[in-house]
Amino acid sequence: MKFFDRKDEIAELRRIREVARDTSRFTVLTGRRRVGKTELVHEAFSDEGFIYFYVARKALADLCEDFRQIAQKALHRTIPGEVRRFTEVFRFVMEESVRSPVTLVIDEFQDFLLVDDSVFSELARDWDELHRSARINLVVSGSINRLMVSIFEDREAPLYGRNTGKMKLEPFGTAVLKDILLYHNARYANDDLLALWAFSGGVPRYVALLMDAKAWTRRSMIREIIRENSAFLDEGKIVLAEEFGREHGTYFSVLSAIAGGKTSRDQIETAVGGPVGGYLTKLERDYDFISKKQPVFERNERKNCLYKIDDNFYRFWFRFIFKYNYLLEVKMFDELRSLVERDYDVFTGIALEGYFRRKFIEERKYSRLGGWWNRKGEMEIDLVCDNEFLNRLDFFEVKRDPRRIDLAGLGRKVEAFFEKNPSLKERTHSLAGLSMDDM
């Protein structure tokens, strides 16, 4: 698949590079695996020479030699002597940048924790000593969120406070997904767009796998995802087992419960069979896999909380692949596809709410937006959108089929909303429905 979007991110990386021609910059680039960090830096810096180094999980001596060979080739300079430490090459590159500006990208930076974590303190030492005279544009990227946080945000960590900037690369937005699908299938239906959003979450790697396989419709996407030797089937296990480590089994159980519709803490604990408070906190704060949702305008942070998986692909993977893995073990791919088709409308109905939420955020129409529900769960409004600058609230009911939208019922829910939030009654407000026709 050809390179799409990322214009703002490319512009920002090139702006930082321009600044680094006079004064060193140290940028941390993060984002979930498969989101396209490596492709981004190559696209951003391909107009000029730069040094790209990938931290492979190999012996330190081999890693140092790899770095030396790459740096020598890029700089057209020989690094004398035997290189025993990674920072011997790093220091050489920094010293060379005094003569001429250098861009250095170190990919999967967190994996130094597995190779030799003394690299961080040595790199901090060299950075502190040389960055004022050097002209280096240093970009380090990492995919494991909790490790990158510990390296740069833990006050006891050697590199704490050293970086001069941070970028988090997000999945493609709704407008980009439309462009991608239109490029491959000019006659796509909105249900195909919703399927692409619901299955991939806009993650470039998953979008590319589907587009390259000519899976441009809802049914062809399902066939491509659920087939023998599909790259999607083991994806969650491969990525998340590394992220969670030895406790991945419990984390998987928690995420599976949430994906299956158990969204309150009590429901999750019942499904898992034990306390999950610590796991939920880590999934939200350390791993950035779930978010704790509350009714919009709720003031008490502990009341009426629900947990949701923000990443569409993982929501799909736990809802169908992980849950029905026993079918895959006996190669019952047709049967699993039938289960996806059976539950497809309910699954994508929830995804459609997320689609419009993301779309409104991209359009910058509202200063605040979210769902609202009462404590008993009897009343629920899919989207409450606040434009405080216009003193206006817009209430939306979201349904796949526009014929199922009940504005009278929405009106009763809005009345309950204002009873709970009487200070907002003075706001101008509107009621409307959103369906696949509005995508």
pLDDT in tens, 318-334: 999 999 999 999 999 99
| Mean pLDDT, the chain, integer | 95
Mean pLDDT across 45-70: 94
Q: Does the domain spanning 235-330 belong to CATH 1.10.10?
A: yes
- Specify the pLDDT at position 402: 97
Residues of the chain with CATH 3.40.1350.10: 365-438
Main-chain phi, psi angles of 43, to 5 degrees: -70, -40
Domain with CATH 1.10.10 in the chain: 235-330
E-strand stretches of 68-164: 102-107, 136-142
Q: Note the residue count of the chain.
A: 439
Q: How far apart are CA 86 and CA 56, in angstroms?
A: 13
Q: Distance (Å, rounded) from C-alpha 208 to C-alpha 3?
A: 10
Instruction: Given CATH 3.40.50.300, say whether it is the number of domain 7-168.
Output: yes
Whether residue 105 has pLDDT greater than 90: yes
- The alpha-helical segments, DSSP class H, found in 299-374 are 312-316, 325-329, 333-363
Structure confidence at residue 285 (pLDDT): 86
> pTM of the prediction?
0.92
So what's the pLDDT on residue 147? Answer: 87
Q: For residue 8, which of 193, 170, 163, 200 has the smallest C-alpha distance? A: 170
pLDDT at 1 over 90: no
More confident residue, 300 or 126: 126
Nearest to 147 by CA among 38, 245, 35: 245
Q: Are 148 and 110 in contact (CB under 8 A)?
A: yes
pLDDT at 299: 83
Rounded-to-integer distance, Cα 97 and Cα 49, Å: 13
- The 10s digit of each residue's pLDDT in 128-179 is 999 999 999 999 999 888 889 899 999 999 999 999 999 999 999 999 999 9
Residue 312 has which token pair? 């569409």
Over residues 280-319, the pLDDT tens digits come to 999 998 888 899 999 999 887 777 899 999 999 999 999 9
pLDDT digits (tens, 9 = 90+) for 193-245: 999 999 999 999 999 999 999 999 999 999 999 999 999 999 999 888 877 87
Question: Residue 175 and residue 190: Cα distance in Å, rounded?
Answer: 13
Identify the pLDDT of residue 238. Answer: 87
Longest dimension (CA), the chain: 79
Higher pLDDT, 377 or 183: 183
- Strands in 262-345 per DSSP E: 290-293, 306-309
Place of tokens 């599976």: 256
Residue type (1 letter), 150: S
User: What is the CATH T-level fold of the domain 365-438, as seen in this structure?
Assistant: Trna Endonuclease; Chain: A, domain 1 (3.40.1350)
Report the 10 Å Cβ neighbour count for 108: 20
**Rounded to an integer, what distance in angstroms lies between the CA atom of residue 361 and that of residue 368?**
9
257-270 confidence digits (pLDDT tens):
999 999 999 999 99
Nearest to 308 by CA among 298, 318, 299, 300: 318
Looking at residue 377, what is its pLDDT? Answer: 78
Specify the higher pLDDT residue, 2 or 63. 63
Provide the 3-class DSSP secondary structure of residue 381: strand
